[in-house]
Each structure stands twice: as structure tokens, then as C-alpha cells.
Amino acid sequence: MSPDMMFNLLTKALGQTLQMVVIAGLIGSLIGLPIGVFLATSGKGELFPAPAVNRVIGLIVNAARSTPFIILVVAIIPFTRLVTGTSIGTYAAIVPLTIATIPFFARLVEAAIREIDTGLIEAARAMGATPMQIVFKVLLAEARPALMAALTMTMVSLIGYSAMVGAVGGGGLGDLGIRYGYQRFMPEMMLAVVVVLIVLVQLVQSAGDLLARRFDKRNRKN
């Protein structure tokens, strides 16, 4: 295979991977964020006390998180076909990627919210703040660095998941590595795919770390 052809294939596959990761990450995070906030604030005696609902949602989140991703992809094929009209290709892969993102990000958000000093919540309550005001002006504001780190971790995980869906015709870098690197015995293509994935992960991680530091009040004071 000529270098130009390899470059064109890598560029196309990278574009598909970025499309899957960005769309699934955006939709999954937007849905996972309120779920995570609810899980962190709906226990007994908390802002939105609903222990029974908390337990039910927690069980659903745990069940979704414990399902191996490749099994999830196959298990929801009927749903994927219903949403996209097909079970293969980039757009079809976005469906299981999004579903996998929601519980993953929700638990990270819950952990980030629970790390906030409860004294801040009590102080806001003493000043007459409503529960929703506490969520937006205290919890989410204080947890911004941790939430940015959670989003970074989610995007990095999605890059790995997006490579995995290549095994079932999902497109992207994983599909390219399997079809050319493995099935056609082209180790140079497999190596190129691995290198691109490593570079992509490093770029996402570095960008996320930079944004987390910018949101950290301790760094702004120095």
C-alpha cells in the first residue's frame, strides 16, 4: 500500500472516530450530568431526598456499567436499528457509545459532587438558597475542576470504546486496524492506527488537564 493511500485511509478513519467520540460524549454527558447530580443529592436527608428512587437509579446505572461494552453493542442491535436504520457504520456506533457514556459519566459526576465540603451546602442553606440554587451556584461551581477531569476521563474511555466497535463494523480507527492490519496482514497499518490512537488520547488528556487547572480556584490564587 502506498503512503498516500495509507494516509487517506487514516485520515478518513480518524474523522469517523472523532465524530463518534464527540457526538456520543456530548449527548452522553448531557444526560449523565443530571443523573449524577441526582444520585449525589437524593439520599436520605440530602437536597432532594428520594432514597427509593436513588436506589433504583443506582441499580440501573450499576447494571449498565457492569455490562461489557462489546456485549452491550450486540445486545442493543434492535434498538440501534430502530434509531439509525442500520446496525453498522459510524452513526450506528454512536448509539451504544452514548448509552455506555451515560452511566459512566453519571458515576463520575456523583463522585465529584460528593467531594464538595458539606459545610458549603449548609452555609448556602442558612442563607436561604433553594436546592436548585445550591446545585448550580455551589455544587456545580465548586466541582468544575473535578467535572472537567471526569469529562476528560470519559472522552479517553470513549476513544477506546470507539476502537472496539470496529470489531462489529462500527467504522473508525478500530475498523481500519482490524480490516487492514489484522485481516489483510498489514502490520504497518496496525502500527499506524495504534500510534494515532495514542497521540489522540494524549491530546485529549493534555487538553482536559489544562482546562481542569484553569477552573481550579487554588491555581487562580497563585
pLDDT digit string (tens) for 103-131? 999 999 999 999 998 888 889 989 988 98
User: Is 26 domain-assigned?
Assistant: yes
Average pLDDT, the chain: 90
Look up residue 102 and give its amino acid: I
Long-range contacts formed by 67-75: CB under 8 A, 24+ apart = 69/96, 69/100, 69/161, 69/164, 70/164, 70/167, 70/168, 72/96, 72/99, 72/100, 73/164, 73/165, 73/168, 73/170, 74/168
User: Is 222 domain-assigned?
Assistant: no
For residue 115, what is the DSSP state? T
For residue 86, what is the DSSP state? -
Instruction: Specify the pLDDT at position 218.
Output: 61
Kindly report the pTM of this predicted structure: 0.90
User: Is 4 domain-assigned?
Assistant: no
pLDDT digit string (tens) for 6-62? 889 999 999 999 999 999 999 999 999 999 999 999 988 888 999 999 999 999 999
Distance from C-alpha of 150 to C-alpha of 103, rounded to nearest angstrom: 12
Residue 63 — pLDDT band, cuts 50, 70, 90?
A: very high
User: Is 167 domain-assigned?
Assistant: yes
Residue 220 — pLDDT band, cuts 50, 70, 90?
A: low
User: Is 5 domain-assigned?
Assistant: no
- Residue 22's domain comprises 11-217
Instruction: Specify the pLDDT at position 221.
Output: 52
Distance from C-alpha of 205 to C-alpha of 201, rounded to nearest angstrom: 6
Instruction: Specify the pLDDT at position 163.
Output: 86
pLDDT over threshold 90, residue 2 = no
User: Is 141 domain-assigned?
Assistant: yes
- Please identify which residue in the block is written with the cell numbers 446496525: 87
Q: How many domains does one find in the chain? A: 1
User: Is 2 domain-assigned?
Assistant: no
Identify the CA nearest to 169 among candidates 155, 183, 157. Answer: 183
pLDDT digit string (tens) for 73-92? 989 999 999 999 888 888 89
Distance from C-alpha of 103 to C-alpha of 69, rounded to nearest angstrom: 12
Helix (H, G, I), strand (E, B) or coil at 89: coil
Q: What's the CATH code of the domain at 45?
A: 1.10.3720.10
Identify the CA nearest to 162 among candidates 209, 200, 206, 202. Answer: 200
